[in-house]
Structure 1
Amino acid sequence: MSQKVRILLIGDDIAGREKISDTLKKLYTKGRVDVIDSFKSLREYYNLSDYDIVICDFNLSDYNGIEVLFYVRERELQLPFIFISDTVWEESTIDTLVLNGASDYVSTDNLKELEFVVRREVNRYHHFRNTKLKLQASEFRFRSLVQSINGIVREIDLETLKNIYVSPQSMNILGYPASDWLENRHFWLEQVHPKDRNGMISKVNQVIQEGGHHTLEYRMISSQGDIVWIRDLLTIREENGVPVSLDGLMIDITKEKEIVYQRDLAIEAEKRRMKEQKCLWNITNLDEQDFTIPQLLHRAMMLIPIGFQYPKFIGVKILYANEEITSINYEESEVVISSQNLKLRDDALSIEIVYLDDEPFQSGEIPFLEDEKHLLDTIIDILAVKIAKKRSSDDLKKHEQLLINTYELAQLGRMI
């Protein structure tokens, strides 16, 4: 290994420490292993941020291992912490260590396992730290970008509540000239989105009463009728302790909001795909040879709802060979999708999915997504294949039994 890994090893067993230290130095030839024998030394002389991992004996002369773990977690929450001990680990002890934040626990006589655990935890920590640095850099770039964006600077006199200054950027961001703001004291409020207007009145009054700095986010309507998301940085300016003006910097964050919206859509889509895959996986793994066909369909009926947006509102009905299998909560509904497979010999297979409550759709959501229709078609195809295989297997067993019976009759005939 060529990583420059910094390891803090705590233990008062000299021979044990040296053995473990030698193992770690071989594991990370360019690394550094600092060895200490007391909790006191740790607290007085060592900075945890200098290390990539802490390996600690569970019991030492001057401390209990849990105390050290708490000490580390209070200062470096994500720093890997591995317990070592020459005693057999009780299950209750292991549970306690994990619940209190230990990364792992290893017996001192199993150095191979220790190498594996150290390598794993160091790699995880490096990944976490690199990700954190990237996030910090990204956040810095984002803030720099926001601060560099030209916004609408405005000043409102608190005695008259009139705009006494509005910067020319009002034309670029909202399409209104500064003169519109200066001539009409209510101009800002009139352009705030109707759904945000009442909330903004109370929030601005709160800003004036509390003073200091505040940030508000709301929607405005541009001169073209478009919705523009605004982040308004407000400051109450005082003279001799008396509030005299409200200064604001209005920044267009519409693109930022769109990115967040698209991100949320992508997250929701990924969650739906995972639910659909789980549903298909469970149904595909039903072994048709373990059940009768009605039993197979009943188990599938119980698994189907987990693939849909709102499983608790789903009802399922399966029709096959003049037999109807329904979920306990099933009832007729106008919100329904269905799928049918006609490839099975003699008997058709159909599945009907209903939503039993329109509560989730009051906000305008679509009851059934296009992906859910595809999911249902895939489910019915899988079940059709399983039914065909089951029937073929049953037919084969019948033929085998017929041959056995025929053979036994022939043998009986010879004996007579």
Structure 2
Amino acid sequence: MFTRYSVFLAAVALLGAPALAPAADPFAETAEKANKKLVKVFGAGGFQRINNYGTGIVISKEGHVLTVASQLLDTTALVVHLYDGQRLPAQVIVTEPFLDVALIKIRPEGKKLDEPTGLDLDYFDFEAAAKRPPAAPGDWILAMSNTFEIALRDEPLSVQRGVVSAYTKMAGRRGIFEFPYTGDVYVVDAITNNPGAAGGALLNRKGELLGIIGREIKNTLTETWMNYAIPVGGKVDVKEKTITKDKDGKEIEGEKVTTISMPEFVSLAMQGKYKPVKRTDVIGQGGYHGIVFVPNVVERTPAFIEDVVPGSPADKAGLRPDDLVSFVDGEPVVSIKAFDEFIKKHTRTGSKIRLEVRRGETLQPIEVELGAHPPKPSKPMPPGPPTVTTPPKK
């Protein structure tokens, strides 16, 4: 004899348990809110496999955006896509290579950089974020970015979930060169080392900003790609060369240490008062490299090498025609003019410069030790009457 309870159990067995209302995923809600505070950044690149896309973090309602300092910013046609699909121009305010970050500002059409933008964007409070204690190993995180350019216009950014593996000092390199930022970083177990991810946000499970996803680099100890983010409170000690003269006028090189931090950079940069750590200027024509660039016909002619003087420092270092000089000492090379100015201001005979050149489909690290400029050829003698040689008499 069946009871009502046994009939109910039979129905459950056949049809399954009564449907329950699906619980909202807290991570999904966090990502949806954070997506409104991030932008897709588009700029220089798009040729020879140099990516022209990345990510940025909105840090003011007026449209200040924190991103990484890369070749992406080397353009006068920088563009961002907001979460709602708006496509707006942007402009670089300042970069700091030693922190590997840059501040850009969205600048709607018809607006000057110092004018109110009229925007009212959702944003991360960077000052508040920098005052929070750092996340600890084992804490859950979300990494949000435009990895692989999956998102355009109003499409949501990619989201990765993971944990903080370590909070440790950076020991990374790009090619054969050490990475300029040597402060603390979050190492995460999510694979964030992807094209387009740099400039994205690392968040805790509440959606609070922890750090900015860094560029693609390798660990100097393990030779493996690093999945990391620079903390909002990150700082780095920078050694600056100083040059003084003794009583005889002889130059004496010294060194001083300056500490710079992310909070200081953001605060001063948003006020237009940040000055990047200054390199030591050298008076003169700089060191000699022996690179012959393509004709400099426009304001931003890319630094393509047309020829290399045989036996010159560039030749000895292995530079070739058709190489594109992309970085010098960690700074993007926006044009031939910019490269020439760097050489004149910051180098001398014997200086070593670290170049990253685009060769075919790869980025090659090359170190060049600059030499002394060869003497200019003397002015040729004006042509005179032909010399007549009288044959000897027999």
TM-score higher than 0.5: no
* Richer in helix (by share): 1
The structure with the greater share of residues assigned to strand is: 2
The answer to which structure, 1 or 2, has the higher relative contact order (CA under 8 A, 6+ apart) is: 2
Q: TM-score, normalised by structure 1?
A: 0.19
* Larger gyration radius, structure 1 or structure 2: 1
